[in-house]
Amino acid sequence: MRRLLPLLPALLLAVPVMAGAAQADEKAPTATFTLVNVEYEGSKIWLPGTITVKRGTRVKINLVNNTPSGQHGFAIPKFGVAAIVDKGQPQAVEFVASEAGIFPTICQLHPAHVGGQLVVLP
Ligand SMILES: [Cu+2]
């Protein structure tokens, strides 16, 4: 145990170093989108259905539910994003698109609703 004590300050420093990594993410280029949920001929759809960013971008999405009634979800499972949006009460989500690929966006409350996609370019 005595041999570990000199290491203790170094172990405590690990926390600020990790916080520094989070700050680096905050300096990433930011892309902001507004998606609107509409009902068209019986289908609920977030529009635009596809959003595209470059890998490493901090993505902010403002979510507006304009369907006649009820609440809808917006989720990007790959990046742990999930929000529930009521009509008249916009929500915002934010994440870093840290991996390139094509990822589904869904209404996690109603799996039958039309989904979209997030395209992250390398
Ligand atoms: Cu829905």
CATH code assigned at 109: 2.60.40.420
Query: What integer best gives the mean pLDDT of the chain?
Result: 86
- Give the integer Cα–Cα distance in Å for 54 and 114: 24
Which among 37, 41, 17 is positioned nearest to 109, based on CA atoms?
Answer: 37
* Structural domain span for residue 75: 5-121
Q: Strands, DSSP E only, in 15-57? A: 30-40, 43-47, 50-54
Query: How far is the centre of ligand 1, averaged over its atoms, from the C-alpha of 26 (Å)?
Result: 31
Answer whether 114's CB lies under 8 Å from 43's CB.
Answer: yes
Query: How far is the centre of ligand 1, averaged over its atoms, from the C-alpha of 71 (Å)?
Result: 7
The pTM of the whole model exceeds 0.95: no
* pLDDT bucket at 14, cuts 50 / 70 / 90: very low
Query: How far is the centre of ligand 1, averaged over its atoms, from the C-alpha of 19 (Å)?
Result: 36
- DSSP annotation of 28: S
- Give the integer Cα–Cα distance in Å for 85 and 66: 10
Position 90 pLDDT exceeds 90 = yes
Lowest-pLDDT range of 14-18, 23-27, 93-97: 14-18
Count the domains in the chain: 1
